[in-house]
């Protein structure tokens, strides 16, 4: 079992690293505690710092399926937990009617048939709870801040006792609780009760050295030299006060793009041509170019 070989945060860091993710001390400790104490892990931070990736990597390492629930306003039980397969239910009803059973058997028996498990469509939350064999699944509840209060209250209930009740069938209970990762971009505050259930970690942008490592790990085709320059440029751009400072995934894309263009050094012309992979606002691109791009490139290339 994956957690037998884990005795502390360092083992978590090593395991995630083996699956090409570089956590800092804080994240490794939070993940360790989440696994050990069977609690959901709530990750908040700027967009693009790799919150979602944590769940992907955990699933790879643990070996269970990754069940992803993307939140949005208005998400309801039908999309998050379960739904009945209405088309098949209707078909079943019509068949019953055609064979003349509808009138004779009485509505009661027919209704029982209609709400049989074979007509149940399982959505991510129920899948995570009803999963019984093999390594536990990793349940990713992505961007929970986009959902509304109604959904949060509901989520809290499920995460408290890891069980789901379908009135027509009964209660599903997790034999082994799933590993739950909840992410939020903090467009609004997640309810306190939900936060208290979870272990909390605020994910920071990595420092330049760690970012170089991440780029090298994720995009092995990028040379060490270029990775260092790209990471240096990203760090200095984050201090320019841009609308949308580049996240880690964008710097990886950028390093890839520059490598594809055949460069081993930051060259102003190529940088301008590929800046769109890194910055997503026209104003930001203008600001970076205005901010004496060439001198920044020169100093990084020289170093």
Residue 282 near another protein by CB under 8 A: no
Residue 162 near another protein by CB under 8 A: no
Sequence-ordered alpha helix ranges (H) in the chain = 9-18, 25-37, 51-62, 77-80, 86-98, 101-105, 107-114, 124-130, 149-161, 192-197, 208-218, 224-238, 248-260, 268-274, 282-290, 293-302
Q: Which of 8, 63, 134, 276 binds another protein (CB under 8 A)?
A: 8
Residue 30 near another protein by CB under 8 A: yes
What does DSSP assign to residue 245?
A: -
Residue 102 near another protein by CB under 8 A: yes
User: Pattern of binders to another protein over 119-158, x per CB under 8 A?
Assistant: --------------------------xx-xxx--------
Positions 223 through 252 that interact with another protein (CB under 8 A): 241, 243
Q: Which two tokens stand for residue 294?
A: 């060439």
Place of tokens 């994910």: 203
Residue 115 Cβ, how far from another protein at the closest point, in Å? Answer: 10
Residue 20 Cβ, how far from another protein at the closest point, in Å? Answer: 22
Q: Please state, as a whole number, how many other Cβ atoms lie within 10 Å of the Cβ of residue 237.
A: 22
Residue 26 near another protein by CB under 8 A: yes
Residue 44 near another protein by CB under 8 A: yes
Residue 82 near another protein by CB under 8 A: no
Residue 73 near another protein by CB under 8 A: yes
Q: How many residues comprise the chain?
A: 303
Residue 84 near another protein by CB under 8 A: yes
Residue 33 near another protein by CB under 8 A: yes
Residue 104 near another protein by CB under 8 A: no
Nearer to another protein, 160 or 295 (CB): 160
Among 20-28, 48-56, 260-268, 289-297, which window interacts with another protein (CB under 8 A)?
A: 20-28
Q: Are 204 and 45 in contact (CB under 8 A)?
A: yes
Helix, coil or strand: residue 188: coil
Q: Are 244 and 284 in contact (CB under 8 A)?
A: yes
**H or E stretch covering 140:** strand 138-142
Nearer to another protein, 36 or 68 (CB): 36
**Cα–Cα distance, 127 to 300 (Å, whole number):** 49
Q: Are 285 and 276 in contact (CB under 8 A)?
A: yes
Q: Which of 61, 93, 168, 301 binds another protein (CB under 8 A)?
A: 93
Residue 287 near another protein by CB under 8 A: no
Closest by Cα among 143, 130, 153 to 181: 143
Place of tokens 């069938």: 169
Among 26-34, 215-223, 249-257, 289-297, which window interacts with another protein (CB under 8 A)?
A: 26-34
**Cα–Cα distance, 138 to 179 (Å, whole number):** 5
Place of tokens 């691109």: 285
Q: Rule CB under 8 A: which residues touch another protein?
A: 8-9, 24-26, 29-30, 32-33, 36-37, 39, 42, 44, 47, 72-74, 76, 78, 84, 86, 89-90, 93-94, 96-97, 102-103, 107, 110-111, 114, 145-146, 148-150, 185-189, 192, 195-197, 199-202, 204, 207, 241, 243
């Amino acid at each position: 079992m994956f957690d037998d070989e884990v005795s502390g945060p360092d083992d978590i860091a090593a395991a995630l690293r083996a699956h090409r993710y570089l956590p800092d001390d804080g994240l490794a400790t939070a993940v360790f505690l989440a696994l050990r104490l069977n609690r959901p892990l709530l990750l908040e931070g700027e967009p693009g710092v790799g919150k979602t990736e944590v769940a992907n990597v955990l699933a790879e390492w643990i070996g269970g399926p990754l069940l992803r629930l993307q939140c949005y306003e208005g998400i309801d039980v039908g999309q998050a937990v379960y739904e009945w397969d209405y088309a098949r239910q209707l078909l079943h009803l019509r068949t019953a009617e055609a064979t003349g059973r509808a009138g004779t058997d009485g509505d009661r028996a027919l209704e029982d048939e209609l709400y049989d498990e074979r007509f149940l469509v399982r959505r991510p939350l129920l899948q995570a709870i009803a999963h019984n064999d093999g390594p536990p699944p990793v349940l990713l509840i992505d961007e929970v801040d986009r959902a509304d209060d109604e959904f949060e209250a509901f989520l809290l209930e499920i995460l408290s006792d890891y069980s789901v009740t379908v009135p027509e069938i009964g209660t599903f209970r997790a034999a082994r609780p799933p590993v739950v990762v909840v992410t939020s971009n903090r467009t609004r505050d997640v309810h306190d009760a939900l936060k208290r259930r979870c272990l909390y970690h605020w994910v920071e942008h990595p420092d330049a050295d760690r970012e170089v490592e991440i780029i090298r790990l994720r995009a092995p085709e990028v040379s060490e030299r270029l990775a260092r320059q790209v990471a240096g440029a990203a760090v200095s751009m984050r201090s320019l006060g841009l609308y949308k400072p580049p996240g880690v995934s964008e710097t990886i894309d950028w390093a890839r793009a520059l490598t594809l263009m055949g460069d081993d050094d930051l060259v102003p012309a190529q940088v301008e041509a590929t800046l769109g992979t890194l910055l997503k606002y026209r104003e930001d691109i203008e600001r970076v170019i205005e901010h004496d791009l060439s001198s920044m490139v020169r100093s990084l290339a020289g170093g």
